[in-house]
Copies of this chain bind each other. A is one copy, B any other.
Amino acid sequence: MPRYVTMADVAREAGVSLMTVSRVINDKGEVSTLTRQHVQEIIERLGYRPSNIARGLVTQRTGTLGLVVPDSANPFFSEVARGAEHAAYAHGYNVFLCNTEESTEQELNVLKSLDEKRVDGLLLCSSRLDKTALHQALLQHPVTVLVNRWLEGDGVGAVLADDRLGGLIATRHLLQRGHRKIGFLAGPPNSHSGRLRMEGYHAAFAEVDATWDPEWMEHCTPMVDGGQAAAYKLLTAHPELTALFCFNDLVAVGALQACEELGLVVPGDVAIVGTDDIPLAALVRPALTTCRVSRYELGKQAMQLLLKRIEGCLEECQTIILKPELVIRESAP
């Protein structure tokens, strides 16, 4: 394992001092064009790469960021991550990707490890920590921006989708098409987004003076299996339902499968609206009508906000809310 080339090696070889090399590297201070070129050559020849870790020790900035998500293989978060990574890289930062596996203990662990790595900033997606624990955790941390999660009070940034509006426009669409008995596959009971979507769902009924039945709602795990089971149960118990609004597209796909099992035609017998517009949504048959928030944009904007705050603009707009839009496809035309 041959040692890394150091600045001292370059300086010796070039016959100059450390500082001159440092200046060339950082394009700082006045260095004569001649020596600059000379040093440049030596750097090339020796294949010198400045150590960001040594540099970080003195500058107190590592050029690294932490990105914490529940599950980076989930198509939702993988897109958010990509948007975030892209924006970070454009500003010269590298990002640590950390999965919490939906576990709060693991979430605390990764936050600690990122802290020890001295990341310059933190992007925390869909944190499952409760208010107190989250506050506590952020105290020890550098600049933080939350994605898909809101925290009252202090000055942490946040980027969110307007989930209430999402629930509203999705349900409104179904109501406009004449549906009155609309089921809601609500996702996990402790999901903040889920609660907001429910509010929107109720608000839409209120707009047209229609009434909803609490029995029309069913919680489920936010995946295909969960959606299938919940849809099966709901449609069996309430054959009067003519439409379903779903927590996310995976759940909606599960609902599609449940309808298939029950011999119900979509959208003829049951119309279905999902949420998120993951790539899958356009590929299943019937293709899903769904409520889109750009996940890539979510990640990108969050990262840009984080970077601004790192660069010092802590007063910078604290909360960004992305509006969803309805994408009408076959499952609820």
Q: Is there contact, CB below 8 Å, between B94 and A49?
A: no
A8 at the interface (CB under 8 A from B): no
Name the contact of A82 in the complex, choosing from B72, B75, B284 (C-beta under 8 A). Answer: B72
A56 at the interface (CB under 8 A from B): yes
A103 at the interface (CB under 8 A from B): no
Which of A110-118, A170-178, A210-218 sits within the interface?
A110-118
Q: Is there contact, CB below 8 Å, between B97 and A117?
A: no
Q: Chain B nearest CB: distance from A84 CB in Å?
A: 10
Name the contact of A52 in the complex, choosing from B50, B51, B67, B117 (C-beta under 8 A). Answer: B117
Q: Chain B nearest CB: distance from A265 CB in Å?
A: 13
B interface footprint on A77-88 (CB within 8 Å = 1, 0 otherwise): 011011001100
Which residues A130-147 have CB closer than 8 A to chain B?
Answer: 140, 142
Name the contact of A284 in the complex, choosing from B95, B96, B283 (C-beta under 8 A). Answer: B283
Q: Tally chain A residues at the interface, Cβ within 8 Å.
A: 51
Closest to A4 in B: B118
B interface footprint on A43-58 (CB within 8 Å = 1, 0 otherwise): 0000101111110110
A255 at the interface (CB under 8 A from B): no
Name the 7 nearest CB pairs between A and B, nearest first.
Answer: A97-B97, A73-B82, A78-B78, A52-B116, A73-B78, A94-B96, A285-B285
Chain B contacts for A118, CB-based, 8 A:
4, 51-53
Name the contact of A117 in the complex, choosing from B82, B85, B94, B140 (C-beta under 8 A). Answer: B94
Q: List 28 A-B contacts (CB under 8 A).
A: A4-B118, A47-B140, A49-B116, A51-B57, A51-B116, A53-B62, A53-B118, A54-B57, A71-B82, A72-B81, A72-B82, A72-B85, A73-B79, A73-B82, A75-B75, A75-B78, A81-B97, A85-B98, A92-B113, A94-B117, A95-B96, A95-B97, A96-B96, A96-B97, A279-B280, A280-B283, A283-B284, A284-B284
